[in-house]
A and B are shown apart, each in its own frame.
Chain A
Amino acid sequence: MAIDKEPRYVLATDVGSTTTKARFFGKVNGEWKFLASGEAPTTVEKPVEDVTRGVRNAVREVEELTGHKILDDSTEELRFVMPYLGGKVGIDVYVSTSSAGGGLQMLVTGVVKSITAESAQRAALGAGAIVMDVLAVDDGREIYEKVNTLRFLRPDMILLAGGTDGGDKVHVLEMAEVIAVSKPRPRFGVSYRLPVVYAGNRDAREDVKKILSSDLFDVRIVDNIRPQIEVEKVEPARNAILELFMEHVMAHAPGYEKLKKVVSTDIMPTPAAEGLMIRTFAEMRNVNVLGVGMGGATTNVYSVFDGRFLRTVSANLGMSYSIGNVLKEAGLDNVKRWIPLDMSDDEIMSIIYNKMIRPTTIPMTLEDLLVEHATARESIRMAFNHHKYLARELKGVKKERTISDIFEEVKAEETYIDMKRVDYIIGTGGLLSRAPRRAQSMLILVDAFQPIGFTYIMQDSVFMIPHLGVLSKLYKEIALEIFEKECLVPLGTVVAAAGTGTPGEKVADVTVEYSEGEKERFELTFGNIIRIPVSQHKEVSVTVEPTKKFDFGQGFGRKVSKVVKGGIVGIVLDGRGRPIYVPQDLGERRKFLLSWFKAMDMYPEKFLERIGG
């Protein structure tokens, strides 16, 4: 729905898997401002089973906080007073995103695992889907195992890809056949025709339609995702997935029909909206950005690198419903390495698993908070690994080789994301937005992503990136204005080195020159963090002269100078090496962790003294 007149008040909601978050924006004295937020449990589940109830409850909280009348109380149905009527009555625009009910759950199939299946995965993830499994002819599973997988999983949609245009079609037809005979049962019941997006060999379209002609499937044909081996074209498949998401998935989720009637533009999957906003920002500033959205059920990672955009949604890595799975996947030792407390395994696990079964609760003690922060680092770390796995050059393409390529091949990681060239890291999601001190978010992001060189860290102030993403479809300028002024909290610059050493060993001499000409010198040693308070309104020149074992982005032992911005946390000199040095021994580890927390002023001093013994 296009709206001609510039609005005065905008309401946006995100119907999350745990919580429905309402954000209220308005134009005050000529500037767009974030006015208030309201939250309530999402009501996609029994016994209410109507998302509009949760939306209403969240909006009611906004009304209570602002005194602004938004809900039309003359009806039981969710309706808003629209348009704005003057005074504190009414709104002009209402938009929403959703990841409730488990989001968009897809199964992806291709022919060659590292070629079409990988491209298909990128397309599905690009649409904000959770990829439940990736099936390929060469995935090492027998046909009956593939059939079992299809029968067991209950996807909302299948993306079928495979073959180049004009190439062999037998294999892609084989995969279509596997889908057909498996008769997968979608989670929305027997009357639901399972959408299958076919994005494979053009010549096999009619045959695929024939194989999947039963009433169980709704086949949508789009352009081939890999028309040629060296070309990847994910946009048509991605758009079809988003369209089908609205037509099928949303139509079957409880209460969405009602919600669809009141939105000013289509409801977007949360990761799609989040990614759209981060992408818009990166393109506008022409920078390399990494973003992370920490949800209750998933962790979404976004990257815009040298203009290339990639979004991944890691299912079952989240901070409420899936928090138990983070522990399971990361391993208890990996979570424990960030906790400087005398806690038994059972105590740590109880905190994590009780959060899983009561996902809407929030930590009340600092011990609880520390455990959640430790788990968050691991969740992002694993989600970022997943992201890097897909952030790589197209496979199957024969490249011209040069002498330098031979040296490139010995690199362990094949990702095109070069941590030395990441300009910004942006974090969003309940855990980060609700972190009582911004330094907590900053160190969680640094520990999880482990940037190298000079990287600016920002976070979403009160979790509104998805809201702004969907708003940007209608009003790009307004969304960007709010994003930059009200949403992004500038935490500061992290200056970190690749390399490793022994604790206390010199990493670099660092000189900070302030605009007034004053200079400060620091010796950064291995295993330590130095935080320099510099406000977000100030820029300083930082010169790093590393020893030969360390690289700040320009090579080992090479001097680097940059003008950087401060932030709420300031400038953080990180001498912990990459990967970050975390001692195995508990006593030693506690000493290091506490020194980092103290340097960052991360938790109340009294608490750190207490746990430091």
Chain B
Amino acid sequence: MSEESFAYTPGLAVTSLTYIVKERSLPIKGEILVEEGQKVDFDTIVGRCYLEGPPYIVKIAELLGIEPEEVPRYLKVKIGDVVKKGTVLAGYTAFLGLIKKTVESPVDGVVEGFNELTGHLTVRSPPRVIELSAYVRGKVVKVVPGESVAVGTPAAFIQGIIGFGGERHGVIEVVSSSNQDVVGPEHIGEHHAGKIIVGGSLITYEALEKARKVGVVGVVVGGAKITDIERILGYRIGVAITGRENIGFTLVLTEGFGKLPMSQRAFKIFKEHEGMEAAINGTTQVRAGVIRPEIIIPKEVEVPTEALEPLGEGKMKVGSVVRIIRYPYFGEIGTVVELPIELHQIETESPVRVVKVRLQDGRVVTVPRANVEIISE
């Protein structure tokens, strides 16, 4: 055994005060509508851009039954022309009007291009206006003209493990008396409309339905049955890339699938911030540039303006507080008492690098290092 030994382990942020900087980027170049130093609210529109509409390739040559090089002679429009659905793009009349062939635009749009090699014309639909909100209440700390802004605020910040649904905001209300409690439909009422409700270890399917019905904005809970989530979504989950679900509210699971008590620390933070307005986002991407769902509770306090410390690479040492993230001790919290260098054989007979953790009830358990996450140094 060695106290010198260490391990790197990913962890989720659960902090009652930090300084959050949210980069808000337009998908393509556009205009930024705010200035550095300006105060913004959750809904403030900070930028706008025009996303090109989809292109439609109109096969003029084929439709008129002519060779591509002949098409220009029969075109009725030119590049840059604004056309309506049904506008004649090309056509000809023969035999004193007895034979008439025309090609009409399939959509409203602009004539973007003509390909002389194929005899095809491209009509592009009108652009779509994309408006970008501040998402969090705070101050604009950086502006990149035409591209992005950064909004900074002191805040409580809690990351979940997986979420569903996108950016929303609402007032926090804790509906469970402890982090162990199950949220049922009886815990949700009309007065929760527009709010972010916080529960304990599990939310039932009926409660999820009720939340949708009454117009809850967000649900944050330790766990939910995977089968209930799929019932709410209406389909089976494939890969963990979420955020675009249309379930009527945003759902964030802080621990995972199943009945899993929310970490005491996160639950306590929500309790302390009850009644405050928060931003919630269920967007999750486990793969390639990990994104975890989050709840940001902006605060009006003075803290040094510095970016959030990197969270993902904690150094696990003797004394580190960790949470076990796999059965049979899923959700248990404890303190690292030993980090043996040598490989240990676990129940599955796998020889792995392990960590010995003293759980809150005093038991010392040996678990793979890969199965714990640091929750504080």
* Given A44-B288, A57-B8, A147-B55, A181 contacting B112 (CB threshold 8 A): yes
Question: For residue B10, which residues in chain A have a CB less than 8 angstroms away from its CB?
Answer: 41, 360
CB distance B328 to A354 under 8 Å? Answer: no
A143 interface residue (CB < 8 Å to B): yes
CB distance A436 to B349 under 8 Å? Answer: yes
A47 interface residue (CB < 8 Å to B): yes
A43 interface residue (CB < 8 Å to B): yes
CB distance A368 to B341 under 8 Å? Answer: no
Which of B74-82, B266-274, B308-316 is found at the contact surface with chain A?
A: B308-316
* Given A47-B312, A362-B370, A316 contacting B239 (CB threshold 8 A): yes
CB distance A102 to B287 under 8 Å? Answer: yes
For B161, give the chain A residue with the smallest CB separation. A357
CB distance B288 to A324 under 8 Å? Answer: no
For A345, give the chain B residue with the smallest CB separation. B227
For B162, give the chain A residue with the smallest CB separation. A357
CB distance B28 to A321 under 8 Å? Answer: no
* Given A360-B10, A361-B326, A368-B326, A349 contacting B257 (CB threshold 8 A): yes
Question: For residue B258, which residues in chain A have a CB less than 8 angstroms away from its CB?
Answer: 346, 350, 354
In angstroms, Cα B368 to Cα A350, docked, is 19
In angstroms, Cα B118 to Cα A322, docked, is 41
* Given A362-B352, A364-B328, A321 contacting B240 (CB threshold 8 A): yes
In angstroms, Cα B260 to Cα A350, docked, is 11
CB distance B55 to A173 under 8 Å? Answer: no
CB distance B327 to A46 under 8 Å? Answer: no
Please classify how large the interface on chain B is, using the bins under 10, 10 to 19, 20 to 34, 35 or more: 35 or more
Cβ-neighbour of B237 out of A44, A101, A353 (below 8 A): A353
Chain A residues at the B interface, C-beta cutoff of 8 Å = 17, 40-41, 43-49, 53, 57, 64-65, 100-102, 143-144, 147-148, 151, 170, 173-174, 177-178, 181-183, 190, 207, 210-211, 297, 316, 321-322, 324-325, 327-329, 345-346, 349-351, 353-354, 356-369, 434, 436-437, 604
In angstroms, Cα B119 to Cα A177, docked, is 11
B17 interface residue (CB < 8 Å to A): no
- Residue pairs across A and B with Cβ atoms less than 8 A apart, 9 shown, are A41-B8, A46-B291, A46-B312, A328-B237, A345-B227, A353-B237, A362-B371, A368-B326, A436-B348
Cβ-neighbour of B9 out of A41, A43, A316 (below 8 A): A41
Question: For residue A44, which residues in chain B have a CB less than 8 angstroms away from its CB?
Answer: 288-289
- Looking at B57, B312, B350, the one whose CB has the most chain A CB atoms below 10 A away is B57
In angstroms, Cα B286 to Cα A322, docked, is 10
CB distance A350 to B226 under 8 Å? Answer: yes
Question: For residue A363, which residues in chain B have a CB less than 8 angstroms away from its CB?
Answer: 326, 348, 350
Question: For residue A40, which residues in chain B have a CB less than 8 angstroms away from its CB?
Answer: 8
CB distance A434 to B350 under 8 Å? Answer: yes
CB distance B286 to A356 under 8 Å? Answer: yes
For B54, give the chain A residue with the smallest CB separation. A147
Knowing that A357-B256, A361-B326 touch, tell me 20 more A-B residue pairs with CB under 8 angstroms: A41-B9, A44-B289, A45-B312, A48-B312, A49-B289, A53-B313, A102-B287, A170-B117, A170-B118, A177-B122, A181-B112, A181-B122, A316-B239, A321-B240, A354-B256, A356-B240, A361-B371, A364-B329, A368-B327, A436-B351
- Residues of B contacting A: mostly: loop
B225 interface residue (CB < 8 Å to A): yes
CB distance B311 to A47 under 8 Å? Answer: yes
Chain B residues at the A interface, C-beta cutoff of 8 Å = 5, 8-10, 28, 52, 54-57, 68, 112-113, 115, 117-118, 120, 122, 124, 161-162, 225-227, 236-240, 256-258, 284, 286-291, 310-313, 325-330, 341, 346-352, 367-368, 370-371
Cβ-neighbour of A101 out of B225, B289, B367 (below 8 A): B289
CB distance B325 to A358 under 8 Å? Answer: yes
CB distance from B103 to the nearest CB of A (A): 14
CB distance A369 to B118 under 8 Å? Answer: no
CB distance from B330 to the nearest CB of A (A): 8
In angstroms, Cα B325 to Cα A354, docked, is 9
CB distance A143 to B57 under 8 Å? Answer: yes
CB distance B238 to A350 under 8 Å? Answer: no
Report, nearest first, the 3 A-B pairs whose CB atoms are least far apart. A436-B349, A325-B238, A102-B288
In angstroms, Cα B59 to Cα A178, docked, is 12
- Looking at B8, B330, B367, the one whose CB has the most chain A CB atoms below 10 A away is B8
In angstroms, Cα B284 to Cα A436, docked, is 32
Question: For residue B368, which residues in chain A have a CB less than 8 angstroms away from its CB?
Answer: 361-362, 364
In angstroms, Cα B256 to Cα A182, docked, is 38
Question: For residue B312, which residues in chain A have a CB less than 8 angstroms away from its CB?
Answer: 43, 45-48
Question: For residue B367, which residues in chain A have a CB less than 8 angstroms away from its CB?
Answer: 364
